[in-house]
Structure 1
Amino acid sequence: MRSVRQRGLAGLWLLGFGGVAAASGCGGAGAYDCAEAVACEIRNDDGTSNGHCWGQCVHAPPDSFGAPKLVWTGPEVLAPTSCAELVRIVPGTGERIPFGGATRTLFARAIPEPAHDCPACACTAPACALPQIVTARSIEACGDGSSGTQTSFLLPAGWDGSCMSPGTVTAEQLGSLSIGPAIWEPCTPIVADEPPQPLAGGVGEVAVGCSGVVESKLCPDEAELCMLEQQPAHLPDGWRHCIVGSGNLGCQQPEGGADPRKIFSDRLGVFYEDLVTAPACSPCTCEAPATSRCEALVVAWEDGACSDILVGVDVAERGICLVPEPTSSLASVSATWLSNEPGTCKPTRGEPIKDDVVARAKTVCCLPKALEAP
């Protein structure tokens, strides 16, 4: 009886895109019937041994890289949407079966500029606004106490101070009168000019990784790994044997007598896990003016035409409360600016945010394209 490993080897399929297997079995080209008690040795087309690996033997990657996988590179618009175009070919029959169980990962060649520009910022102008509410109470006291009746004169937003008559407050209802403060309306940050975007989503180069089965102790050198069913002769165009590491890294280089065809020395560059379509920036902000002054003269009138004065008061950043003469009534309000100087805000430009981009960087290293082992 042959071992579990031997039985598994006899049933392995080959990854391919079409055609026949890249390696032949013990019985010669196209033959897969190994002796019952002997593990089947795989021979490459050039006669060299591939051990017991139906696939690609590669040197184990450095610790900073993940397990070997198949990687496609090219324009994003042409990128495979799944691993379905990778197929396994049944030895002897040539039947094509989808490469199941593979995990697809998308990496984008969206490289932010080392020192990219952020949008130019501006601020809307601050403004002074006249009080919007005048309140009469039936008692000789201001505040939010529960006693007495309260009548409010609501003035429209953007009131310019012209004579307004929201209603009438009789002498019985007018024990006290409060007038709100002049209002300083702050500025708002806005983007004044967007810089040219160095990146454009949907048109850049991407890398698509598909992770298949990787086994140890099947290749002639026990330190090598076997990428099962992943023969280079049968990969679709654009697919290669590669490794992916986190960060901006260098790739392995052949040393001593190592076979350069099995070392991931071809550096395709840095890609990113998330497609970056624009560099990130902190938001624009506005610094309030060092000095500003909003001060108005508000006049309450006993008649509805602003001709019979009740009282005139100067209001700035605080309102005022007063007790008018008995028998007084309130029917209209007007106002004029004494000081309308809201000042000027200073915009602060956003700053580049780089940390999240650097953390997503991935280096892709592949077997040499011209030297890939058969």
Structure 2
Amino acid sequence: MRMSRLVLPGMLLIAGCEQDPIVITGPCTQEEIDLGYCDVPDAGTASTGGDGGDAGAGGQGGAGGDTHSSLCSGQCAPPAPLGWFGPALLWFGPPDAVPDCPADAPTLGYEGFADLQQPPLECATCACDPPEASCTLSTDWAATSSPSCPGDEPGTVTTSFAAPDGWDGACTAANAIPADHLCNGEPCVQSLTIAAPSVVTTAACTPRLDVPPPVPRLDPWATRARACLAGAYTACDDATTCVPSAPSGFTTCVFHEGDDADCPEGYAVRHLFFADVIDGRDCTPCGCGDPTGASCSLMASVYRDAACTDLLASNVVSSSVPFCVVTPPGVALGSKSAVIVAVEPGACAPHGGEPIGELRPSAPSTFCCIA
């Protein structure tokens, strides 16, 4: 069968008598040339191709070597190296001005923060519940031969009118002094002294929070950041990547998890953002100092008879000072009784409730951007 050949620029048609032509497009392969399907054009007679120069001077014509770039509606940027994400459109600024992702880069690829503030932690006020205290009755009662108080002049004779050990204040005739009892020729009873009762702390102060702690501030960041990604990327003819043009306020960047990466070539401006914060703040625990200001008082009564029925005198005796009262000279001190009327446990100075520690950024990411 005889075959005829027709050579067209960039295309080869092979026609036969009984079959449809076989169409071969594009440059001929070596196998097609060896089989005689293609003629090899002379260097000076190859077909021309548009405005890209003649074929003998450098291949096919077209758009002058910028075909892929002319198809990129955005910008051509260096591709993201291995281990990096992007290129992406990065925005960062105040939290109340965060924009939506642009229409041609609608996917939110990253959201983070920067410029961590250190607002002081407001701790609750520490206070102390009062301690527990009890009043111990004094057993040291005495008559003196002095006609004035406090009955400690030189030559004064003191006669014990003491209550028994462990006295609970009930009526007692212990150490009674009869009427007209003489001491050195003078009445032994001309004044009566009672030692101050003692107040005893039985339980320390208990610390407490005076007010509930305030709600902590939830957003301590002064800067928000977000990176937006295109749905798909195409290549420019110089092996760069076609990415959407950066709108006002955005910049083109690649990003990498961690804070120890050096910026790749073409992305010289470095930014560091964080995804989280570790709150290392706390308040010192509340505590209480030793109790101070405790006091108590009792009603002390003295009687002429031994059964606490013939009252001679009744007075309030405080734990702050001893008590002394002038009596009729030579009066009988037959019995006594005492009743605790008040116990003031005192108070403790609170301490603690001071803020300590700080906020620390965590989960960093490095962004490197086109200058």
| TM-score (structure 1 length as normaliser) | 0.40
Which one has the bigger strand percentage? 2
